[in-house]
Amino acid sequence: MGTYNFSDIFDISALQGLLESLSAALGVGICIRDQHGKYLFRSRECGVCCDLLEEAPVGSDEQAPETVYQAFTPCVRYCQAAGLTDAVIPVMNDTVLAAVIQVGWVRLSEQEIDDAEYLTIARALQLDEEQFLESVHAVPLLTRTHFDNILNAVSLIMEHFSQLGHKNMYLKSVISSLESQEFLHQQEKNVLANLAEKDSMTGLYNRRKFEEVVALYARLKTRKICMISADANFLKLTNDIFGHESGDHLLQAIAKIMNDLAKSDWLVARCGGDEFRVVLPDTTLETALDYCRRVARNCRRDKSLALPLSVALGAAEWNSEKETLQDCFSRADAKMYQNKTALKHELRIPNYIMERLYDRQVLSKEVVEFTASLTLDFALYLNFTGEHAKEASLAAHFQDIGMAKLPESAAIRGQSRTEEETTQIQMHVTHSYTMARQFDELYKLADIIHCSHENWDGSGYPSSLKGDHVPIESRIIHLVSDYARRTHPTVTGGYYSEEAMKDRLARESGSVYDPNLVSRFLEFLQTRELH
């Protein structure tokens, strides 16, 4: 029967009316108890049982629960202590006992005793003898056949009610299932409705919703409306260098800033790719421009991403008498592109990435700048042209920019690395090459950067190039950067003295380093010392 109670399955008031009528017509008491023994109904014919026997100081065995509640078939019971007979009829719901119908009390002619014995019973129960005898005389005297016929009639009626109860329970189950399905349907409906107007990645409204709102406002020519066009900067670059997951984070970060700063009646939408739009009803142009400034400022403050969080914005106020709302947006879009061009010149992405590497202590700014400076001076010492020497210096500066793609754990120094971790570290050279090709100022230096960790004897990485197959600029950078790195203090405290490092360069000449360059570099260092 699950969690349903008897009153959940049956119409108690209707059942009570029926049983009261049966009790009066048949002249027998009828009561209902639930499966726990609690009375749900008792007819007016239950006088002796309900009024006298239950109040008897001594009591009778009629109250024994095991007799009543373990009855799963009709059971006729003679109470020796009371001298009366009753019967219990189970009310089943499927195979579960839902309740019992108790029929009685009656006197059976086959078991009838005289008044003297009833008086003896009254004394045993400590009841008023005259009152008890009067109540007994009011109890109908039936033959067992007559009583069985009454029980059969009540049993048939209760069997009918049990079937109805089973159907009621089934219907309740069906209704509950339908309600659950309706609830799930409504949830799905809400999800679909949300998907129809929301961008799943950022949670902002989508293009469809934006166009619906624009179409609505386009008919309201008396309202002051501003439009904003926004475009996330460096999305493609982020995707190409760091992967689409990083690109998603960039869009989500911009979306959150734009949405958090917007007023409740503004509509902020992502209309695809890196494109965002805002509709600002009842808003002046100055308010729209202030919003743009605040969005740009909050983006600049965010340093959580590998590339700058930056968005180009343009705003326009609708002149409803001279243009359509779409024309207004086109003006905002044009201003956005003007700002985007200016931002590209202002933001130098390679430098930003390097600063992030310094902040994370992946690279030492002091060592990087010293390496670039020393490379420039050594290249000039080797009679490189000024332009050529600057290119070598620039390549030296950004040779390890690919470290930005490595996980934070890879930058921890002083630890023993597994073979897999070592391979991961060495991969940063390939990352540096890939990243250099993304930037105009580094594009033609990408091959130099890619070879900057190759050894003279071919034991370096990533391509195991040997001898003159390694570009001379890369050989210079390898030599100078190792000298610079090993003669500067590290986070672990150990580093070479200049003399010790010179000895090491001499020992590794012809294996790690180009022997001719080692000789010239040692001369160069001697020249610097003299000056």
For residue 455, tell me if it sits in a domain: yes
pLDDT at residue 411 greater than cutoff 90:
no
pLDDT at residue 416 greater than cutoff 70:
no
Q: What is the pLDDT of residue 64?
A: 41
Lowest mean pLDDT among 234-238, 247-251, 465-469, 510-514: 234-238
The residues near 56 (Cβ < 8 Å, ≥ 6 apart) are: 125, 126, 127
> Tokens 């359509």 identify what position?
324
Q: What is the largest CA-CA distance in the chain?
A: 143
For residue 179, tell me if it sits in a domain: no
Length of the chain: 531
pLDDT at residue 67 greater than cutoff 50:
no
* Residues 275 and 230 sit within 8 Å (Cβ to Cβ): yes
Same domain for 375 and 505, yes or no, is: yes
For residue 44, tell me if it sits in a domain: yes
Higher pLDDT, 183 or 383: 383
Same domain for 379 and 468, yes or no, is: yes
* Residues 261 and 276 sit within 8 Å (Cβ to Cβ): no
Based on the number of CB atoms within 10 Å of its own CB, is 421 exposed (0-12), middle (13-18) or buried (19 or more)? middle
Same domain for 126 and 159, yes or no, is: yes
pLDDT at residue 266 greater than cutoff 50:
yes
Q: What CATH number did the domain enclosing 98 receive?
A: 3.30.450
* Residues 510 and 472 sit within 8 Å (Cβ to Cβ): no
For residue 375, tell me if it sits in a domain: yes
Lowest mean pLDDT among 55-59, 63-67, 482-486: 63-67
Distance, in Å, from the CA atom of 19 to the CA atom of 11, rounded to the nearest integer, reads 12
CA dihedral 459, 460, 462, 464 (to 10 degrees): -40
Q: What is the pLDDT of residue 93?
A: 67
How would DSSP label each residue in 286-301?
HHHHHHHHHHHHHHHH
Residue 69 pLDDT class (50, 70, 90 cuts): very low
pLDDT at residue 494 greater than cutoff 80:
no
* Residues 335 and 248 sit within 8 Å (Cβ to Cβ): no
Lowest mean pLDDT among 102-106, 310-314, 406-410, 469-473: 406-410
Predicted structure pTM score: 0.60
Mean pLDDT value of segment 497-505:
93
* pLDDT tens digit sequence for 181-191: 776 666 655 55
Identify which of 125-139, 385-399, 404-418, 487-501 has the greatest average pLDDT. Answer: 385-399
Examine the fold and report which residue of 324, 347, 370 is the final residue of a domain before the chain moves on: 347
Q: What is the pLDDT of residue 222?
A: 79
For residue 462, whether the previous peptide bond is cis, meaning omega lies within 30 degrees of 0, is: yes
Distance, in Å, from the CA atom of 386 to the CA atom of 184, rounded to the nearest integer, reads 73
Distance, in Å, from the CA atom of 312 to the CA atom of 338, rounded to the nearest integer, reads 9
Residue 61 pLDDT class (50, 70, 90 cuts): very low
Higher pLDDT, 50 or 259: 259
Domain interval for residue 158? 6-172
* pLDDT tens digit sequence for 423-439: 888 899 999 999 999 89
The per-residue pLDDT of the chain, averaged, comes to 85
Query: What domain count does the chain have?
Result: 3
pLDDT at residue 63 greater than cutoff 50:
no
Same domain for 130 and 212, yes or no, is: no
Q: What is the pLDDT of residue 366?
A: 93
Lowest mean pLDDT among 39-48, 173-182, 190-199, 295-304: 190-199
Report CA-CA distances (Å) from 19 to 89, 335, 485: 13, 86, 101
Same domain for 116 and 227, yes or no, is: no
Q: What is the pLDDT of residue 446?
A: 96
For residue 223, tell me if it sits in a domain: yes
For residue 180, tell me if it sits in a domain: no
Mean pLDDT value of segment 55-84:
61
* 3-state SS, one letter per residue, for 341-406: HHHHHHCCHHHHHHHHHHHCCCCCHHHHHHHHHHHHHHHHHCCCCHHHHHHHHHHHHCCCHHHHHC
Q: What is the pLDDT of residue 343?
A: 79
pLDDT at residue 214 greater than cutoff 50:
yes
Examine the fold and report which residue of 347, 366, 394 is the final residue of a domain before the chain moves on: 347
**Strand, coil or helix: what is 128?**
coil
Same domain for 32 and 109, yes or no, is: yes
pLDDT at residue 282 greater than cutoff 80:
yes
Q: What CATH number did the domain enclosing 445 receive?
A: 1.10.3210.10
The residues near 387 (Cβ < 8 Å, ≥ 6 apart) are: none
Q: What CATH number did the domain enclosing 271 receive?
A: 3.30.70.270
* pLDDT tens digit sequence for 450-478: 999 999 999 999 999 999 999 999 999 99
For residue 189, tell me if it sits in a domain: no
Mean pLDDT value of segment 292-320:
93
* pLDDT tens digit sequence for 1-59: 445 566 666 777 777 888 888 888 888 888 888 777 788 888 876 655 555 566 666 55
pLDDT at residue 379 greater than cutoff 70:
yes
Same domain for 361 and 217, yes or no, is: no
For residue 186, tell me if it sits in a domain: no
Residue 417 CA, distance from chain mean position: 35
* Residues 82 and 70 sit within 8 Å (Cβ to Cβ): no
Examine the fold and report which residue of 172, 188, 219 is the final residue of a domain before the chain moves on: 172
pLDDT at residue 491 greater than cutoff 70:
no
What share of the chain in percent tops pLDDT 70?
86
HSE, side-chain direction, 13 A CA sphere, residue 9 = 24
Residue 288 pLDDT class (50, 70, 90 cuts): very high
pLDDT at residue 65 greater than cutoff 50:
no
Distance, in Å, from the CA atom of 28 to the CA atom of 285, rounded to the nearest integer, reads 91
